[in-house]
Amino acid sequence: MDQTTEKKEKKDIPVNIYRPNSPFVGKCISNESLLRPGAPGDTRHVKFDISGGDLRYLEGQSIGVIPPGEDKNGKPHKIRLYSIASTRHGDDIDDKTVSLSVRRLEYKHPETGETVYGVCSNFICDLKPGDDVQITGPVGKEMLLPEDPDANIIMIATGTGIAPFRAFLWRMFKEKHDDYKFNGLAWLFFGVATDSSILYKADLDWLQYKNERNFRLDYALSREQKNAKGEKMYVQHRMAQYADELWELLQKPNTHGYICGLKGMESGIDEFMIDTAAKSGVHWKDYEKQMKKEGRWHIETY
């Protein structure tokens, strides 16, 4: 790739088209539950109309949402960032929408015992069609898909960390593009609590069924499945069942690994990678550093 092409490609990554001091005001189009009966919590797929402005984005980027009102110090609320769950063309493939996967944050305060509600997640989860929402961004270059349509893409997600991978998979397998046809292997490891809390399950299962040559899908259900030691099944335990195959895949120069979800997931995956690499006499932390340098190991946790 010559330098001009490289510069052009870098220039084409949209960043901060809208900033917190002048956000874009979009409208909620739809707000649907992503959970099936019996699943814990409340997680929603929310779609916004962005047709009235210049907002554009790529798969793997995030947008900011500014909740209305003020914080306890009387200042406007700060933006919260959310991974985008739709492809660059939006769920309706008309370049007019952006979608998010948002879990309502509610927890008991450890000292007072009061229920604490996440300001922005509750605002988004309560939106009705037609409601206004202040949007900033997009931001992020860490989680972008490689240009190479023959690349292998290993995706490791927990909970709403599925958002960027939904965007990846929809672009790879659901939309039809003249300029992009995915021929590599996409392999998703997705960890949630129960079968009823697998976000986008019907779509993921269908895509896997229709594209079994190019898309592998493995779930880890911590409250319903046991690992080899008879303990809770987390995403790294599911990966361990394919350790040799995964390690072989990671040796290929066109393989990319992506991790998205709660920060707590990193240590388990790290442990698994250290053990797996050690079997081949490789020090994982060095190899991970090398992969990051090559732009092949991408982590976005929160």
Q: Which of 59, 120, 125, 300 is flagged as catalytic?
A: 300
* Contact present, 208 and 216 (Cβ < 8 Å): yes
Classify 132 as helix, strand or coil: strand
Q: Which of 18, 28, 83, 200 is flagged as catalytic?
A: 83
Q: Which of 59, 234, 260, 287 is flagged as catalytic?
A: 260
Q: Which of 107, 180, 209, 302 is flagged as catalytic?
A: 302
Nearest Cα to Cα of residue 247 among 214, 278, 289, 286: 278
Q: Which of 18, 57, 82, 200 is flagged as catalytic?
A: 82
CA pair distance 172, 166, nearest whole angstrom? 10
Edge to edge, the sheet with strand 297-301 lists 215-221, 186-192, 152-158, 255-261, 297-301
CA pair distance 108, 38, nearest whole angstrom? 21
Q: Active site includes 302?
A: yes
What φ, ψ does residue 157 adopt, rounded to 5°?
A: -130, 150
Q: Active site includes 83?
A: yes
Nearest Cα to Cα of residue 300 among 155, 166, 136, 168: 155
Q: Active site includes 82?
A: yes
CA pair distance 138, 26, nearest whole angstrom? 14
Please list the alpha-helical segments (H only) found in 194-283. Answer: 201-210, 235-240, 243-250, 265-278
Classify 301 as helix, strand or coil: strand
Q: Active site includes 260?
A: yes
Which residues are tagged catalytic?
82-83, 260, 300, 302
